[in-house]
């Protein structure tokens, strides 16, 4: 915007994007999709180039250990194992709901409940292995405890250290 001399008001008129949304994006309170950002840039004679490359995420020790454990669960998750696990998962969800307060934990427990109730295996795989902040936070209130055999759990934790 500085290079092109475009004000927020002018960009809003050119793009049809509300000025408060532009202001929110500039102050990093609002996240725009690549498509939305490309649209704004095109109004200023620019284009968005997205470069894909792998990056190693920065995880705390606890987040990394949790990811390894849940990843191991994901390798074992199938329609059959899910049916066997469901009573334990349901008990864990009930126990967690009684002991957890505040956001985002309550919301994440609700998301777990919805995934389990729908038997949404692809969704469960995404949460079990995801490295996005939402998946990491969901694993903080995971109802998957008690599903891995002790020897497997110990092995995973030893390799994760």
Q: What residues does each domain of the chain span?
A: 1-53, 61-160
Instruction: Output 14-22 pairs: Cβ under 8 A, ≥24 positions apart.
Output: 14/43, 15/39, 15/40, 15/43
| pTM, 2 dp | 0.71
Tell me the pLDDT tens digit for each residue of 14-66.
998 889 999 998 998 888 889 989 999 999 999 999 899 999 999 999 999 99
**Token pair of 81, please?**
């194992």
Nearest to 143 by CA among 114, 112, 119, 98: 112
Nearest to 152 by CA among 33, 61, 68: 68
- CA 2, CA 67: separation in Å to the nearest integer? 42
pLDDT bracket for residue 161 (50, 70, 90) = confident
- Fold of the CATH domain 1-53: 434 Repressor (Amino-terminal Domain) (1.10.260)
Residue 30 is predicted with a pLDDT of 84
């Amino acid at each position: 915007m500085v290079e092109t001399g475009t004000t927020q008001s002018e960009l809003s008129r050119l793009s049809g994007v509300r000025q408060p949304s532009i202001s929110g994006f500039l102050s990093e309170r609002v996240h725009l999709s690549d498509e939305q950002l490309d649209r704004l840039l095109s109004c200023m004679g620019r284009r968005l180039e997205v470069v894909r490359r792998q990056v190693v995420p920065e995880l705390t020790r606890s987040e990394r250990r949790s990811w390894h454990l849940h990843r191991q669960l994901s390798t074992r998750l199938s329609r059959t194992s899910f049916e066997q696990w469901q009573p334990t998962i349901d008990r864990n969800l009930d126990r967690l709901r009684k002991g957890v307060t505040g956001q985002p934990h309550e919301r994440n427990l609700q998301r777990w409940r919805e995934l389990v109730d729908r038997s949404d295996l692809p969704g469960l795989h995404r949460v079990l292995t995801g490295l996005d902040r939402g998946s990491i936070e969901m694993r903080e209130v995971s109802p998957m405890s008690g599903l891995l055999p002790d020897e497997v759990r110990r092995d995973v934790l030893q390799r994760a250290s």
